[in-house]
Amino acid sequence: MLEVRHLVKRFGGLRAVDDVSFALREGTITGLIGPNGAGKTTLFDTIAGVHAPSAGEIRFRGRRVGGLATHRIFHRGLVRTFQIPRPFAEMTVLENAMLVPAGQAGERFWNNWFARGRVRAQERAHRERAQAVLAFVGLDRLAGAHAKSLSGGQQKLLELARVLMSEPKLILLDEPGAGVNPTLLLTIVDKLRELNARGITFLVIEHNMDLVMNLCNPILVMAQGKLLMEGAPDAVRRDPRVLEAYLGGAGGAAEVGLRPNVGTPCPPPGGGSSSNDARAAARPSGTP
């Protein structure tokens, strides 16, 4: 469904993604792991059209998407979520969900003059769809609340609701477990499994190894811009190259047992809560 061939993304002299090739099978939940600075987010951004590739090719459902604008890739059914969701804080949960375009007739100004009835019907359908999607993720009771009042986990669910409004075929999820309490994490995992059973394919970046090993198969491992290996959870867990990448990775020491180092992530733009704290909170207790 997604084919990446010899993909390179350079930032100046740095090859953040360095000759990466893989294919995603339709219907899978594929994991993407690797130490901080491995190039995972850059790979996501390049697939989703945030960055143009420096070299290589990306095909989605048989068609080239490498270098297309984000919104064009989005309309083909390939969407990404963010490590740190940024909903419009002053808008309600429902309004945030309804912001996602669905080609409403109301966007064309002349329809306001000649087809008011149709515009209203489409707006109503759009609102009903948003309400249904919020009910699916369990946020329907909070539809009227300001987005800023949501917890970290609820913001992740709102982000999921927003991407579902676009009827995606492939969702790139950046750390669905970060900053989410264990109970809500179970809800998120359930929803992802259910969406997967309904035909949505996922590629998931996640630092919580228990979550990755439970949810994802296969798993891709990146280190220093390169794809180190691809395999089933057990094969990844046992592969000495993977442990070595974490132990010797750019971030420094890692905990034994394949807990990635979370010491030096880039801070989110504009400050705010650190993803570091969020990740620490998402880790099982007992780890330092």
Q: What are phi and psi of 201, to 5 degrees?
A: -90, 145
**Is residue 260 a contact residue for ligand ADP (CB under 6 A)?**
no
Residues 6+ apart with CB under 8 A from 35: 223, 245, 246, 249, 250, 251, 254, 260, 261
**Is residue 39 a contact residue for ligand ADP (CB under 6 A)?**
yes
* Cβ pair 30, 50 in contact under 8 A: no
Q: Give the angle subtended at the CA of 26 by the CAs of 20 and 31, to the nearest 5°.
A: 50
Among 33-41, 60-68, 107-115, 143-151, which window interacts with Mg ion (CB under 5 A)? 33-41
Q: Residues 24, 38, 41, 262: which binds Mg ion (CB under 5 A)?
A: 41
Contacting Mg ion within 254-283 (CB under 5 A): none
The Cα 175–Cα 185 span in angstroms is: 11
Least distance CB 104 / Mg ion (angstroms): 33
The residue among 41 and 208 lying less far from ligand ADP, judged by its C-beta, is 41
Least distance CB 116 / Mg ion (angstroms): 46
Q: Residues 40, 80, 156, 191: which binds ligand ADP (CB under 6 A)?
A: 40
Give which of ligand ADP, Mg ion, none residue 36 binds (C-beta under 5 to 8 Å, depending on kind): ligand ADP
122 beta partners? none
The Cα 62–Cα 107 span in angstroms is: 30
**Is residue 279 a contact residue for ligand ADP (CB under 6 A)?**
no
Judged by the rule CB under 6 A, the positions of this chain that interact with ligand ADP are: 11, 14, 16, 34, 36-42
